[in-house]
Homo-oligomer: A and B are copies of this chain.
Amino acid sequence: MELHVVINGRKDLASQLYQQLRDAIESGRLAPGTQLPPSRLLAEQLGISRKTISDTYAVLTYENFLVGKIGSGTFVNARIPISRRKQSHTDFASAELIDYWHNLKSPLRHPTLEGMARYDFIGGATVKNQFPDEEWRRCTQHALRQISNSRGYYSQPEGLPALREAIARHISFARGVVCVDDDVVVCNGAQQALDVIARVLIRQGDTVAMEDPGYSPARLLFSAQGANVVGVPLDDEGIRVDLIPDGTRLIYVTPSHQFPMGMPMSNARRVALLNRAQQLGAIIIEDDYDSEFRYEGRPTDSLQSMDDRGNVAYVGTFSKTLLPELRLGYAVLPPAILEAVIIAKQLTDCHTSTLPQWALAKFIADGYLQKHIRRCLGIYAGRRERILARLNSDLAPWFDVVPSTAGFHMAVLCKVPVNIALLIELGKKVELGLYSLAPFFHDAESKPGLLLGFGAIETLDIDPALDRLKSLLNQLS
């Protein structure tokens, strides 16, 4: 075998050789099991010392790229973990589809907590220092006892009866959702609820309509399932129902607290939306992700409670009220699709893990969730008030606040031209985490502005954070 190695000049001979051999192995050009030339021969061929060769072989052997077999020579290790080789997916029949998935990476990325700034307005993070550790521990003990008494088999795809009951009670009370236990399907967070509902309703090429700007992970999910996702513009009252196209099979909305803008959907718009869905024979997904936190005005009930024709699938989550990493959410389904969604859930992952399910059922039934929501609501209300006070006073020259009444983020739109991308970059330098609204606009024309989440930032940090923001804005003007 002729080994193709090119040595340039007389410098770094060992590292040149090392890198070329390693590349050849990782890329598969030097196939696993291939015998390498004896160091003496390769030294002659390349005109470098035999010691350089054998030292390089030794390093590569130490790193498991090569393996020495006594009496027969040095070979490319046949058992290099595949992952240590660079491998392209272009040799695969599904290359194009794999490409598609790779391209979702950056729009889907959650900002990592490790990268979180000292003063961070990230959305979706909960007020962690309030997490009721002791109550949750007690409920998990209960879960362990239940599992200990179980029979070593699968649980129900639709969720544990105890949890379905607890959820039905919680959302009847907290959100005016009209349902009984049997309407509830437990999922791994709201995202999986969207996945299983969309699976039973759409095939390649079917139209899904959603708010634009809107919740990107939902858009990416429906697209990845093959849907033709149409972004429908918003006005002050919510989604422009008149622009929902004919042929739409699924409509995704966030009526209580539009994501990301924040305004609630008006009553008239809700009625129009329900009628449009009925006319289309479409299902509406009402994603009610954070409306347990409500600050002012008369509580608006869910869209689901206005639906008397079975067009609304209500989706909720405990990621906002409890903890995202527990991955617990649910869907309340109209009769036409309930059974089908349960089957889709079973086919997807059989059912949600019973360990967190039992714990949450107990946590809700014992009243801890309501207590926890009340406690967090107080904290979020204080933060919200502080942010609004500043936005309505010294930050007013730059921003308009989009009016909202629920949740724990708000959207602000620029009144004057601000380079948001630059603002965010400058923010990082003063330990300030800012987030643009831009990634949530798709077909609609992007409005420059910020999404200000107040789950992660401490109340006392708000003023220093907004001082920094103001000073950056002054700098940019």
Contacts and interface: CB of A to CB of B under 8 A. Distances in A.
A84 interface: yes
Contacts of A88: 336
Interface string A222-266: 001010000000000000000000011110000000000000000
Contact of A108 (B113, B280, B343): B343
B224 A180 contact: no
A221 B343 CA distance: 11
Contacts of A29: none
Contacts of A323: 147, 150, 152
Interface stretch (A127-135, A291-299, A458-466): A127-135
A236 B2 CA distance: 43
A28 B309 contact: yes
A82 to B, nearest CB: 5
Contacts of A189: 349-350
Interface stretch (A3-11, A201-209, A380-388, A414-422): A201-209
B131 A152 contact: yes
Contact of A148 (B85, B87, B131): B131
A170 to B, nearest CB: 15
A311 to B, nearest CB: 9
A69 interface: no
A395 interface: no
A220 interface: yes
A328 interface: yes
Interface string A68-99: 00000000001111111111110111110110
A459 to B, nearest CB: 15
A187 to B, nearest CB: 8
B125 A148 contact: no
A405 interface: no
Contacts of A15: none
A260 to B, nearest CB: 17
Interface stretch (A42-50, A351-359, A440-448): A351-359
Contact of A221 (B84, B195, B347, B456): B347
Interface string A28-61: 1001110000000000000000000000000000
B200 A97 contact: yes
Contact of A359 (B131, B201, B355): B355
Contacts of A248: 93
A152 B356 contact: no
A339 interface: yes
Nearest to A329: B349
A316 interface: no
B93 A280 contact: yes
A280 B94 CA distance: 10
Given A98-B337, A144-B140, A152-B323, A282 B93 contact: yes
Contact of A349 (B188, B280, B351): B188
A133 B144 contact: yes
B336 A91 contact: yes
A28 B308 CA distance: 9
A429 interface: no
Given A31-B308, A359-B355, A350 B335 contact: no
A184 B92 CA distance: 20
Contact of A347 (B78, B108, B199): B108
A133 B283 CA distance: 44
A267 interface: no
A443 to B, nearest CB: 20
A2 to B, nearest CB: 21
Given A82-B183, A105-B343, A353 B356 contact: yes
Q: Which 4 A-B pairs have the closest CB atoms?
A: A128-B152, A101-B340, A89-B336, A192-B349
Interface of A: 28, 31-33, 78-89, 91-95, 97-98, 101-102, 104-105, 108, 110, 113, 116, 122, 124-128, 131, 133, 136-137, 140, 144, 147-148, 150-155, 178-180, 182-183, 187-189, 191-192, 195, 199-204, 206, 217, 220-221, 224, 226, 247-250, 280-283, 305, 307-310, 323-328, 334-341, 343-344, 346-356, 359, 455-456
12 contacts: A92-B337, A97-B200, A101-B343, A108-B343, A136-B144, A152-B324, A153-B324, A203-B226, A204-B204, A326-B354, A327-B351, A356-B356
